[in-house]
């Protein structure tokens, strides 16, 4: 079997009317949206922190991180806990999304490179466009879209203003 014939699994979720996906291997768990502690002087995309079994986990509003309006919390709003890397160390982060859909399999041959223009988010945040049942799903590149160092610099800028 070649690697093009071995499907990879992705967690799909919605932000507004759009469907996004991320590699399931980075996802730890999915939890219901709940009480969050707001941290002063954070950029608007950092909604706060949660206590996850004694660990402090920052929660990123993915809509806001993409330069859109902040997420309006609804009945299906949830937080995807995933592993991010910083200086070679794994850190847990929470992503606030409108709703989690399902885990799907996509063959590498079904993934196109990100378009040069016309996407609603920054191109470097996109790993590729997965073609599933005639529709395109934006596959995120979490190492870029949720780069901890990049977000930390934004936090420092916000604090120094």
pLDDT (0 to 100) of residue 144: 65
Cα–Cα separations (whole angstroms), residue 98 to 31, 33, 70, 101: 12, 10, 11, 10
With residues binned 3-state (H G I as helix, E B as strand, rest as coil), the percentages for the chain, rounded to 5, are 20, 45, 30
The whole-angstrom separation of Cα 88 and Cα 59 is 21
What is the 3 state secondary structure string of 55-76? EEEEEEEHHHHCCCCCCCCCCC
pLDDT (0 to 100) of residue 2: 52
pLDDT (0 to 100) of residue 59: 94
Pairing assessment for the beta strands 46-52 and 111-112 based on DSSP bridges: unpaired
Per-residue pLDDT of the chain (161 residues; tens, 9 = 90+): 556 678 999 999 999 889 999 999 989 999 999 889 998 888 888 999 999 999 999 999 988 888 888 999 999 999 999 987 766 778 889 999 999 999 999 999 999 988 776 555 666 778 899 999 888 899 988 766 666 566 656 555 555 55
Burial readout 122-147 (b: 16 or more C-beta within 10 A, e: otherwise):
eeebbbbbbebeeeebbbbbbeebbb
Residues 6+ apart with CB under 8 A from 70: 44, 45, 47, 61, 63, 64
Give the CATH H-level superfamily of domain 3-160: CheA-289, Domain 4 (2.40.50.180)
pLDDT (0 to 100) of residue 88: 73
């Amino acid at each position: 079997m070649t690697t093009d014939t071995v499907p990879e699994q992705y967690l799909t979720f919605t932000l507004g009317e759009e469907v996004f996906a991320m590699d399931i291997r980075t996802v730890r768990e999915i939890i219901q949206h709940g009480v969050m502690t707001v941290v002063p002087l954070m950029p608007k995309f950092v909604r706060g922190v949660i206590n996850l079994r004694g660990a402090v986990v920052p929660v990123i509003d993915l809509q806001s991180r993409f330069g859109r309006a902040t997420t309006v919390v609804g009945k299906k709003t949830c937080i995807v806990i995933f592993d991010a890397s910083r200086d070679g160390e794994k850190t847990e982060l929470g992503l606030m999304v409108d709703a989690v859909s399902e885990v799907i399999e996509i063959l590498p041959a079904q993934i196109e490179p990100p378009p040069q223009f016309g996407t609603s988010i920054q191109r470097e945040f996109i790993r590729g466009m997965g073609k599933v049942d005639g529709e395109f799903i934006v596959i995120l590149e979490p190492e870029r879209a949720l780069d901890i160092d990049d977000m930390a610099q934004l936090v420092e800028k916000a604090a120094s203003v």
